[in-house]
Copies of this chain bind each other. A is one copy, B any other.
Amino acid sequence: MTAQGDPTPGTVRPGGRTARTRLAVRDAVLTGLAEHGYPGLTVEYVAERSGVHKTTVYRRWGSVEGLVADALDLAGEDTWTPPDTGSLEGDLRALAREVTETFGSASAAAAPTAFVAAAFQSDRAAEALRAFYTERFARCESVVRRAVERDEAPPGTDAGAVVRAVSAPLFFRALVTREPIDVPLADQTAAAVAVAVRAGAYLPARR
């Protein structure tokens, strides 16, 4: 999960100017994504905006994809926890609505969209994205765990499959087919998955 741009392990200088530079660059990356989108983000822009010389940016991050991958590593280090509404369908609906909100406004969608775009360009960004979602979905599995405890879902339900089934149709429309997504669609998706869970369609024995 550690960014490749980090000083090599065991370095003597973890803080100070290096840390300031990194933060300034990360800030410039997010600003640039919001303003020009991923295709318009250039190393030169980040260098100018952050006040860090472009040589330094190239040496530590290597490319635009490296910059985005580093920003993605940072995004994974938050304290987000899945919703807890007291019912399976309520939790799934809240999860789906969060996706809808993220991709509802262009400014909020800029960074997540860029993360996916960068993953198509470089293996490092792809790995960072994979790690991000692995960790994020692992957090979400508590939703299913609680549902099992409430007898809303059969024991052994494949929690990972459930949380992916709720998110995927919305991600797919937002990122691949560019169809509009809204709250009713999120609710429909959550309801459908909740029905399937209760029916035992996500028991891993079926795989």
Contacts and interface: CB of A to CB of B under 8 A. Distances in A.
A165 B192 contact: yes
A38 B164 CA distance: 26
Contact of A126 (B178, B184, B185, B195): B178
Contacts of A202: 188, 192
Contacts of A177: 129-130, 133-134, 164
Nearest to A200: B195
Nearest to A179: B130
B199 A195 contact: yes
Contacts of A130: 177-179
Interface stretch (A16-24, A52-60, A143-151, A167-175): A167-175
Task: Tell me how many chains of this kind the complex includes.
Answer: 2
A116 interface: yes
A202 B187 CA distance: 11
B178 A207 contact: no
8 closest A-B pairs by beta carbon, nearest first, are A117-B120, A184-B207, A168-B172, A192-B201, A192-B196, A168-B168, A168-B169, A133-B177
